[in-house]
Structure 1
């Protein structure tokens, strides 16, 4: 063996020996994206990363601060960008400060506007997301939804005196109306309608071929519908979300019950694996299985919203979960079916119906035991032509008109009963 070759082998062997003796240090986790979702209910901050992060957090008083130490992370430009993502009108965060506290530990300091109850948890990869570290900052003194309606002039303290019911839209009784002899005495009072724009925040819902997000389209339709319903002399409306933020499915139902809603209307724009699928649909709850394979598939997809949007499963209200799972009644489903038929008939006047009857499936968001509840799929956002219609102001307006007329016909045929205050 010549000297040159010998020197080369010795050098390679020395390099290998050094590499074996050198301790292996763990690669720092990479922060891929940071997002801030402010809302009246709470503010969410999300760090998306390529591995599970280990954290510890604590509160410092006077002034209120939340301190979070994240291990195994180096400060990178993405993490630094979190500072600029806090909006001045955020209800709960003044600012966020970010720094390298010590090697492989980044410290976040949330300067707060009021006392919060922080929930810090991680989410496993799902859909388009990798690992997520989530900070939900809930106020210690949460806003009261009825107080919010009072502030807007939509709810009087002690509730309002009786007001006039809307006149029946049709002269003849529709097929879903009760016979006149069986109808209960008409009660005149304010009617509270909970409108539930699906998805939001971390959960975009279905995404159209042209890039439209379901969460944006349905919020626009819900706001149009809210305006039209509030033009009625005896109706007021509560939105389960009025901006781009995530609301867990159970929380949506809880919000409706807190304002003693008479109806719950969830608004969506569905998608299917085939872009040719089209038409509008109305769904109500089923306790005995879905009315079709498509209905079952869609309910499973919508019920996954908590996984995608990021519900903190460990902090779910156990009492609420019990109510949703155990107390859904036949009476609620029967009333929901009447509402669904009235709305479906009206929607059929502006768009093809995917199916000519109200469908049923186990949608989690329809499980309020004491509120007639429907879920409307306004059109298929996965169908290019229907995606264009969903983004059209005129179509959104006609859809809101149709739902309004359906709700008015439902109440004309099924006058509301007197209501004792719900717990």
Structure 2
């Protein structure tokens, strides 16, 4: 352990001995060339700062501290700062995350209070010229002396989205009741998503596999990192012992127990026999490496969850989702410490009805469009370093007129659709739109069981 770490951890012990110190966060001086964030407390506290890119953000850790009052609201006219988030990194350590609009030089210094005045940590953000070099420089110092961090960014560029089609080659993945193979579905959706991304200004796709071949799970995110991807999206089709399980899901890496029994089952299936590989220290001070590793990993998990939530919102707009929140489990393919990563389960291939949907081009396109809309939401809210703006386009699949069910025929000129709500029945819908029940079934590929689900979009025929 070097002297800097010894000093930091000794200082970190002091507030813990006296109980948690209340910290208030508020805006300081703001100008076109500088933004200040003030952290005020009744006694001195140590802090660590880490500056990260892809997307640009500043992480501030305050051992022995707790937040009091509300975080200052975001200011749309600020030159560099998007907003501030807060949470507990551990039970006795406060973490603040400053989301940035672009690369910045970051400085921090302390002002000791006297005569009843509060102690302050001043964090300054100075917009950095995005054309200055390609090197990333990070320095971390303890509260005992002013800390200065500098990030130099790459030139303006497009966002690179890594698309991982699950399974492949000798690994077919799950197989549906009628023989549909997961590896074929995931590749079809991945190709559609790649085509959509490549048509978007400011975005381009990286296919992890574009053929029927198998790639080891740890190698998949490694390929994305080698190409400096901004986001890793792994596409799969769910399978479960209950044949009635249905809907789309979105997962991120779980650091503890899986968020549900099904999440654990899905992770076990997708991981197969692969073993989890751990990142080894790179020869520098082991404690500092561990701190940097954990900080980077935690910040990456935050952005993985943010991107996953954006995609899940768009999947909800498109149709049925299995769970209304992002799920977490120990997926090997998501174990990347420096790349926001998530996994999309398009539907349950073990469900006969959803297996039929997964085999159709229209449903595959629907899922691809929902994923694209979510990715754009995420990138616009948290643009990676040096990213060119992504123009707004229609917000999701529903606005583009694609029904969730597309297995049946489509009448020429059809424009009407109906979104299933609680209490709806197929016969009531047929009566409402003055069409026959048989034509409604035929239009949507339904059998005489008339099974429909909340959130499902059905097509209304123009004649009966």
Q: Which TM-score applies when normalising by structure 1? A: 0.52
Match of 2:370 among 390, 402, 408: 402
Q: Which residue of the partner structure matches residue 65 of structure 2?
A: none
Structure ranking higher in helix proportion: 1
Structural mapping, 1:123-272, within 5 Å: 179=83, 183-186=99-102, 188-272=156-240
Structure-1 residue corresponding to 2:306: 338
Give the C-alpha shift of residue 373 in structure 1: 0.3
User: 1: distance between equivalents of 2:100 and 2:310?
Assistant: 19
The one-character-per-residue Cα deviations of 1:370-392 (angstroms, maximum 9, x if unpaired) are 11000000000000110011111
Partner of 1:287: 255
Shift of 1:322: 7.6
> Which position in structure 2 is the counterpart of 1:299?
267
Alpha carbons of structure 1 residues 272 and 246: separation in structure 2 relative to 1, 3 Å: same
Question: Deviation at 1:292?
Answer: 1.0
Q: CA separation of 1:286/1:180 partners in 2, compared to 1, >3 Å: closer, same or farther?
A: closer
Unaligned 5+ runs, structure 1: 1-172, 307-312
CA deviations on 1:98-157 (whole Å, 9 max, x unpaired) are xxxxxxxxxxxxxxxxxxxxxxxxxxxxxxxxxxxxxxxxxxxxxxxxxxxxxxxxxxxx
Instruction: Please report how far the alpha carbon of residue 351 of structure 1 lies from its aligned counterpart in structure 2 after TM superposition.
Output: 2.4
Aligned counterparts of 2:169 and 2:82: Cα–Cα separation in 1: 41
Q: How far apart are residue 297 of structure 1 and its match?
A: 1.4
Separation in structure 1 between the aligned mates of residue 279 and residue 220 of structure 2, nearest angstrom: 11
Structure 1 residues 354 and 321, CA, compared in 2 at 3 Å: closer, same or farther? farther
Secondary structure, counterpart of 2:209 in structure 1:
coil
CA distance in 2, matches of 1:338, 1:212: 32
Indicate if the aligned counterparts of 1:249 and 1:305 stay in contact, CA closer than 8 A: no
C-alpha contact (below 8 Å) 1:296/1:361 kept by paired residues: yes
Residues 388 and 291 of structure 1, relative CA distance in 2, 3 Å threshold? same
Shift of the alpha carbon at 1:321? 7.5
Distance 1:391 1:223 in 2: 14
Asked if 2 retains the 8 angstrom alpha-carbon contact of 1:199 and 1:305, the reply is: no
Partner of 2:218, secondary structure, is helix
Q: Number of residue pairs matched?
A: 234
Aligned counterparts of 1:321 and 1:209: Cα–Cα separation in 2: 43
The answer to whether the 8 Å contact 1:250/1:320 transfers is no
Conserved? CA contact 1:194–1:265, under 8 Å: yes
| Pairwise CA distance, 1:290 | 1.0
CA contact (8 A) 2:101 2:382 kept: no
Mark the structure with the bigger radius of gyration. Answer: 1
Show structure 2 runs of 5+ residues with no match.
1-75, 86-97, 103-129, 131-155, 283-289, 388-464
Superposition CA RMSD, Å: 2.7
Cα separation, partners in 2 of 1:378 and 1:178, compared to 1, 3 Å = farther
TM-superposed CA distance for 1:349, in Å, is 1.5
Q: Note the C-alpha offset of 1:298.
A: 1.0
- Which residue pairs with 1:412 in the alignment? 380
Q: Secondary structure at the match of 1:249?
A: coil
Q: Is 1:353 equivalent to 2:321 in the alignment? A: yes
Distance in structure 2 (CA, Å) of the matches to 1:322 and 1:210? 48
Matched position secondary structure for 1:252: helix
Q: CA deviation at 1:418?
A: 4.5
Residue by residue over 1:164-185, the C-alpha shift from the partner in whole angstroms, topping out at 9 and shown as x without a partner, is: xxxxxxxxx9xxx964995413
* Cα distance in 2, alignment partners of residues 257 and 408 from structure 1: 20
Give 2:345's match in structure 1, choosing from 368, 373, 377.
377
Deviations 1:27-51 (CA, angstroms, capped at 9, x unpaired): xxxxxxxxxxxxxxxxxxxxxxxxx
The whole-number CA distance in structure 1 between the counterparts of 2:260 and 2:199 is 37
Name the counterpart of 1:133.
none
Q: Distance in 2 between matches of 1:345 and 1:178?
A: 21
